[in-house]
Amino acid sequence: MKFRYFLAALFLSLAVGCVQEEIGTLSEIQVSESYVSIDVNGGSASVNVTASESWQVDASSVPSWLTVSPMSGAAGNAQVTFSAESTKATNKAEVKIVCAGQTQYVNVIQYATKVDPPISTAAQVIAGDDGVTFRMSGVCSRYDSGNANAVLYGNWYITDETGTVYIYGTLDKKGQTKGNPLTAWGIEVGDHVVIEGPKSTYNGTVELVDVTVISITKSLISVGDFDFDELPCTDTTFNMTVSAKESPILVTSDSDWLQIVDVNADGSYKLHANANDRTAKRTATISIKGPTALKSVEIAQAGTPATGASITEIVAADDDDQVQTLPNSVVVALTTRGAVLSDGTSAIYAYGNSAAALKLGDGVKMSARKTTYNGVPELTDITDVFVDSEGNAVSYPDAKDITASVETYEASVAEYIKFSGTLTVSGNYFNIAFDDVDPDVKQGSIVYPIDALDAKSFDGKKITVTGYFNGLSSKGKFVNVVATKIQEFVDNPKGTLRNPYEATEIASLIKGGTIPEGKVYVRGIINKIDNVNTSYGNAQYWLSTDGATADFEAYRSYYYGGEKWTEDNKDAIKEGDEVLLYGEVTYYAANDVAEFKQGNYLVTINGKALPEGDGTEASPYNVTKLAEMLLAGETFEGEVYAKGLISQIDNVNLQYGNAQYWISDDGTKLFQMEIYRGFWFGGEKFTSEDQIALGDEVVVFGKVKVYKEIPEFDANNKIISLNGKIE
């Protein structure tokens, strides 16, 4: 008989509590009572307020279950009444009354009679409604060792005979701060516990949140310490010592790679772990079950060290080199003939049936020959494909719309692009005609689209195609793309810089079950600021269309352009400001919140973008933010300076002596700003095509505008400095 096993690492952490300021007597404003109680069946209670000047109640401190009247008053004496409807749960609030810059606090409490809920099984919790408090009895089956927050908040799993429930947050013995259950309570894997907390569902996972521990019964089974933290990646045999105060015991494993192969003469168990040929660390769980007790231990096994090269390094390799990708090369796009692999920085198309058989999200180690096809790096002659991991998150960079510049577009890497035009399907050909462009000069082409894209259904329609550039074919006539998305064309679609979502609008959309794909722009008025955290560099605040409600959350939002908040800029936003933000959006079911995902950032505050510098020669504009300002509708009188790295060169026209190229902040974000018909130093003509090169840092001077949604320096601009040198 074969069994399997795994050892859980237990974490220790300090629980940090919050200390409230002591409420004192203020000369500017005084209240007759600092604590007010309202009957559980509903009612009112009043306090007398004496103020030296006009006063007002801080509306943000008044929760929805409480009504305060009046909300403001003049100097002198007044009576403030607190009212609430009946409740089944205890309500508490700390109401702030402000006068002459000083704050007085009134604590309002509505106590409900506590009735202990019945003991529920895991199956009943899973089938129950979110928001309902459940009490559950079961065994601590394992800790959430793969989650860093498990150390801080105490995340673990409770199991009974009907199933397992995830515990997200364990309150300490005072029922206040969250902490690791081993440190705060001494709960070990295998202990029988009774806990209580409200149910929530987050991304499909059923949770009991911020649980209170009712009782703990220590396990009758214990496992001796191991002499390793994790097993090596090779075949390994080791022993496990089990002590039990009851019998018989049954030992089982949940993973094929870890087996219990024998019982030693001293009663210990001999276990064997197969070699791990993947790079990812893996875990297995051994369960030791007696008549009444259950003990679970986890064992981790290291992955095989990665070998190979990054996609970025492969793209730069010589043609015909034999290469091997690192196993973190993720499949981000598919065709019926191949797949696009990405390492998060660069992408490359792998051509071959073995690549086409992969799935989105596969982490792949691939051996192949690097070549160049239609001007773009490619992998061919694939000799070996090993799927190291499955289901990896697939994300895409911002797609650059090349529709307006398609006639001159070219690139030497698999950039992420999009363009719009009318699709014609003819056999295996999916060609796209562009408006106002001669189809004999330039067309788009979708490369071997997979069935999931349903490309044929768009035949004859105007569409927008997004995907990875796959080269120019037929002497530059066709712009080929490996599509990740095909959708019917929408003029000026919602969520763009020109047509952003309003905060309340997108909140309603998300809560109605529609979540826009990719990054979008959202505009709204700040209703409430939770914090601006300069330690982590992000902020958390709320928006709505009218600024009166908290409809949409800017969760862990960054400063302009994704920069961190600092002590210098932490006061840049305030309640009432209208802001434009950019990022991915989601729905947080646990709190019924529509929000930006972490990583969103500010584009404008009250219609103004903040460039780096002020556009003068001494302080040129930052390219990204100058482009954002232009696209947001801001205009500039006269000429300005901007500094960036050359990211693409369309041409250096020696006949006319000017050049057309693009600059960005880091040289990799192509097409952020176009330098249209630019001249050399002092307005002189270019005399050689190699006077500028990719990656050169330039300061450009001239007039700026937006042309067909492309931010650009207008004709007759000139270079002021090149790689720090002034000619």
For 218-281, list the strands marked E by DSSP. 221-223, 236-240, 242-244, 250-253, 258-263, 269-273
Buried b (16+ CB within 10 A) or exposed e, 618-649: eebbbbbbbbbbbbbebeeeebbbbbbbbbbb
What pLDDT, on the 0 to 100 scale, is given for residue 615? 85
Single residue among 389, 424, 454 that ends a domain in this structure? 389
Going by C-alpha positions, the residue among 467, 482, 353 that lies closest to residue 366 is 353
Alpha-carbon distance 253 to 192, whole Å? 20
Single residue among 441, 458, 488 that ends a domain in this structure? 488
CA distances (Å), origin 85, targets 41, 111, 356, 467: 7, 12, 62, 55
What pLDDT, on the 0 to 100 scale, is given for residue 23? 37
Name 718's Cβ contacts closer than 8 Å, sequence gap at least 6. 678, 679, 680, 681, 682, 683, 700, 701, 702
Cβ neighbour number for residue 702 with a 10 Å cutoff: 24
Alpha-carbon distance 277 to 365, whole Å? 12
What pLDDT, on the 0 to 100 scale, is given for residue 333? 97
Residues 657, 682 within the same domain: yes
CA distances (Å), origin 349, targets 310, 377, 392, 415, 458: 14, 7, 18, 11, 25
CA distances (Å), origin 644, targets 377, 559, 637, 706: 26, 20, 21, 18
Residues 713, 625 within the same domain: yes
Cα-to-chain-centroid distance, residue 48: 49
CATH of the domain at 258: 2.60.40.10
- Count how many domains the chain has: 7
Cβ neighbour number for residue 206 with a 10 Å cutoff: 18
Q: Confirm if 552 and 503 have CB atoms less than 8 A apart.
A: yes
Residue 144 lies in a domain: yes
Alpha-carbon distance 125 to 206, whole Å? 8
Residue 23 lies in a domain: no
Alpha-carbon distance 329 to 342, whole Å? 5
What pLDDT, on the 0 to 100 scale, is given for residue 669? 61
Q: Which residues of the chain have pLDDT under 50?
A: 1-24
Q: Each residue of 492-539: pLDDT tens digit?
A: 789 987 789 999 999 999 999 999 988 899 999 999 999 999 999 999
pTM of the full structure: 0.56
What pLDDT, on the 0 to 100 scale, is given for residue 715? 93
Single residue among 466, 488, 510 that ends a domain in this structure? 488
Residues 505, 601 within the same domain: yes
Residues 100, 151 within the same domain: no
Residue 615 lies in a domain: no
What pLDDT, on the 0 to 100 scale, is given for residue 434? 96
Alpha-carbon distance 579 to 252, whole Å? 57
Residues 467, 507 within the same domain: no
Domain encompassing residue 175: 119-217
What pLDDT, on the 0 to 100 scale, is given for residue 675? 96
Encoding tokens for residue 238?
């080791």
Strand, helix or coil at 129? coil
CATH of the domain at 642: 2.40.50
Alpha-carbon distance 6 to 105, whole Å? 52
Name 7's Cβ contacts closer than 8 Å, sequence gap at least 6. 226, 297, 298, 299, 300
Strand, helix or coil at 611? coil
| Angle subtended at Cα 609 by Cα 603 and Cα 615, rounded to the nearest 5 degrees | 135
Name 622's Cβ contacts closer than 8 Å, sequence gap at least 6. 561, 611, 612, 613, 642, 643, 665
Residue 3 lies in a domain: no
CATH of the domain at 480: 2.40.50.140
Cα-to-chain-centroid distance, residue 557: 11
Residue 580 lies in a domain: yes
What pLDDT, on the 0 to 100 scale, is given for residue 142? 78
Residues 625, 715 within the same domain: yes
Alpha-carbon distance 409 to 400, whole Å? 11
Alpha-carbon distance 306 to 315, whole Å? 19
Residues 523, 463 within the same domain: no
Residues 505, 600 within the same domain: yes
Residue 383 lies in a domain: yes
Cβ neighbour number for residue 261 with a 10 Å cutoff: 12
What pLDDT, on the 0 to 100 scale, is given for residue 18? 33
Residue 545 lies in a domain: yes
Residues 177, 133 within the same domain: yes
Residue 78 lies in a domain: yes
Going by C-alpha positions, the residue among 349, 398, 397 that lies closest to residue 376 is 349
Alpha-carbon distance 300 to 9, whole Å? 9
* Separation of first and last alpha carbons in the chain: 81
Alpha-carbon distance 611 to 613, whole Å? 6
